[in-house]
Amino acid sequence: MDYYGIGFSNIRLPNDSKSYIYKYNKRINTFPEEVFLHEFLHSLERNAKEYGYERPELHDYQKYGYENELLIGQKRWYTDYMNKNINLTNTKIGLPQEIYTLKPAKSSNFEYSYKIDKVFKEPENIIEEIKELINNLTNKFKQNNY
Residues 6+ apart with CB under 8 A from 59: none
**Residue 95: strand pairing partners:** none
Give the pLDDT confidence score for residue 73 in this predicted structure: 79
Q: Report domain extents, the chain.
A: 1-111, 122-146
Q: Which residues of the chain have a pLDDT value below 70?
A: 1-33, 105-121, 145-146
Strand-pair partners of 54:
none
Helices and strands per DSSP (H, E), number in the chain: 4, 2
Q: Can you give the pLDDT at residue 17? A: 57
- What pLDDT score does 79 carry? 94
Q: Name the amino acid, one letter, at 84.
A: K
